Amino acid sequence: ANSVLSSYSTTVFEVMSQLAMEHDAINLGQGFPDEDGPLELRKIAADALIEGPNQYPSMMGLPELRKAIADHDKRFYGISLDWKTEVMVTSGATEALSNCLFGLIEPGDEVVVLEPFYDCYLPLIKRAGGIPVVVRMSAPDWKLPVEELDEALTQDTKLIIINSPMNPTGKAFHWDELEALAELCLRYDIYAVCDEVYEHQIYDGREHYPLITLPGMRDRTVRIGSAGKSFALTGWKVGYICAAPELLAPISKAHQFTTFTTPPNLQKAVAAGLAKDQSYFNNLTADLQKKRDYLASGLAEIGFDVLKSDGTFFITADFSKLYKGGDEKFCHYITTEAKVAAVPVSVFYDVEGPNNLVRFCFSKRIEVLEEALKRLKKAF
């Protein structure tokens, strides 16, 4: 018998990273920085490995980290959170998303997602018994399709997943779009699960606005973050959830039966990271913006039509002037021939997405991006 999950192939990130390794390609596919985050944080984690704590922490997370998350959210967004009842640490944002879906929906509930979406959303919704309702956004602006959303929402909708800044498009929702989303959530009386893992990867002087801060949204929004992105430590898988106690309680029930906890030494280091001053976060953004601009202009020179990216580690580009054939073939071609790996954008769609877009990860050293561009130039 086939289970919901057996219909899925291996995730594109694993497939492309393996292919990149096999062909000795520069990996601009899977989203991860090629330089580890602050040494100081890694030292705190290393010391904590020697000195402890090394035993199970509280299932909600180390108090030190939960307080740091609450302080961070107050400092950056003015959100007042009770760290005891409104903050929970998870093993990455992926676990956080899974907990939200397993904790908040019942079989038969409808869950609205904006397409293109991050790859774990659909399988998790389905495995949790939810019915995904997909609303498509369109290139090049990826504007919030308010009317289509209004049509998609029904009495059976339980929640909507919002990812801003958004993977794979790099879109960061504008204030008026968030207002429209909040209005819909209130009118249809639904929850919003906000995947904000790229909250500190937003460029061009833009600011990140968590949906939870909009009027009426405080008690119906779940805010998810990830230390992996904020501190360039993606393999640590330390994530967190902030939500009103009535929402966090069922979510924590899902957490207690999945991972229960997250390594305490890593939690300790992330607590120190979140307490870093504004200049750390400013530098992170400035550095990534430079890399984004460098890769974007290099790709444009080669003949790609590069789409605008407001945030994340990613830019997308239309390759149709350079290559005839679908995006999966294109990514296979550049990985094996040019020796530069990327990710086809159609994998972020449920059925038949655009076939002409490729996603590149730019969180790499400039010299690595330079070499990747050189290789791509030679191939076209």
Task: Kindly tell me which residue out of 157, 163, 169, 230 binds ligand PMP, with binding defined by CB under 6 A.
Answer: 163
Task: Kindly tell me which residue out of 149, 178, 197, 284 binds ligand PMP, with binding defined by CB under 6 A.
Answer: 197
Taking the complex as a whole, how short is the minimal distance between the CB of residue 114 and ligand PMP, in angstroms? 12
Task: Kindly tell me which residue out of 33, 116, 170, 228 binds ligand PMP, with binding defined by CB under 6 A.
Answer: 228
Tell me which of ligand GLN, ligand PMP, none is bound by residue 226, counting a contact when its beta carbon lies within the kind-specific cut-off of 5 to 8 angstroms: ligand PMP
Q: Phi and psi of 69, rounded to 5°?
A: -65, -45
Interface region with ligand PMP, contact rule CB under 6 A, candidates 133-141, 231-239, 257-265, 273-281: 231-239
End-to-end CA distance of the chain: 46
Q: Phi and psi of 158, rounded to 5°?
A: -100, -40
Tell me which of ligand PMP, ligand GLN, none is bound by residue 239, counting a contact when its beta carbon lies within the kind-specific cut-off of 5 to 8 angstroms: ligand PMP
Q: Site map for ligand PMP, 241-270, x if CB under 6 A?
A: ------------------------------
Binding to ligand PMP (CB under 6 A): which residues in 93-122?
93-94, 118
Q: Phi and psi of 82, rounded to 5°?
A: -85, 110
Tokens of 310: 């407001």
Interacting residues of 347 by C-beta distance below 8 A, sequence separation 6+: 12, 119, 328
72 vs 237 by CB, closer to ligand PMP: 237
E-strand stretches of the chain: 26-27, 87-90, 110-115, 131-136, 157-163, 191-195, 221-226, 239-242, 305-306, 314-318, 340-341, 343-344, 357-361
Contact 137, 143 (CB under 8 A): yes
90 vs 339 by CB, closer to ligand PMP: 90
Q: For residues 81 and 70, give the distance between their C-alpha atoms in angstroms, rounded to a whole number.
A: 5
Q: For residues 129 and 357, give the distance between their C-alpha atoms in angstroms, rounded to a whole number.
A: 31
Tell me which of ligand GLN, ligand PMP, none is bound by residue 164, counting a contact when its beta carbon lies within the kind-specific cut-off of 5 to 8 angstroms: none
Tell me which of ligand PMP, ligand GLN, none is bound by residue 261, counting a contact when its beta carbon lies within the kind-specific cut-off of 5 to 8 angstroms: none
Taking the complex as a whole, how short is the minimal distance between the CB of residue 31 and ligand GLN, in angstroms? 3
Asked if 237 touches ligand PMP (CB under 6 A), the answer is yes
Tell me which of ligand PMP, ligand GLN, none is bound by residue 362, counting a contact when its beta carbon lies within the kind-specific cut-off of 5 to 8 angstroms: none
Tell me which of ligand GLN, ligand PMP, none is bound by residue 33, counting a contact when its beta carbon lies within the kind-specific cut-off of 5 to 8 angstroms: none
Q: Phi and psi of 330, rounded to 5°?
A: -60, -45
Asked if 239 touches ligand PMP (CB under 6 A), the answer is yes
**Number of helices (H), then strands (E), in the chain:** 13, 13
Number of residue whose CB is nearest ligand PMP: 92
Taking the complex as a whole, how short is the minimal distance between the CB of residue 270 and ligand PMP, in angstroms? 11
Q: What is the dihedral of CA 93, 96, 102, 105, to 10 degrees?
A: -90
Q: For residues 100 and 116, give the distance between their C-alpha atoms in angstroms, rounded to a whole number.
A: 20
Q: What is the CA radius of gyration of the chain?
A: 20
List, in sequence order, every residue forming a beta bridge with 26; answer none if it has no partner: 340
Full DSSP string of 118-149: -TTHHHHHHHTT-EEEEEE--TTTT---HHHH
Tell me which of ligand PMP, ligand GLN, none is bound by residue 195, counting a contact when its beta carbon lies within the kind-specific cut-off of 5 to 8 angstroms: ligand PMP
237 vs 276 by CB, closer to ligand PMP: 237
Give the interface with ligand GLN as residue ranges (CB under 6 A). 11, 13, 30-31, 167
Task: Kindly tell me which residue out of 17, 98, 164, 167 binds ligand PMP, with binding defined by CB under 6 A.
Answer: 167
Taking the complex as a whole, how short is the minimal distance between the CB of residue 378 and ligand PMP, in angstroms? 30
Q: Which residues bind ligand PMP (CB under 6 A)?
A: 31, 92-94, 118, 163, 167, 195, 197, 226, 228, 234, 237, 239
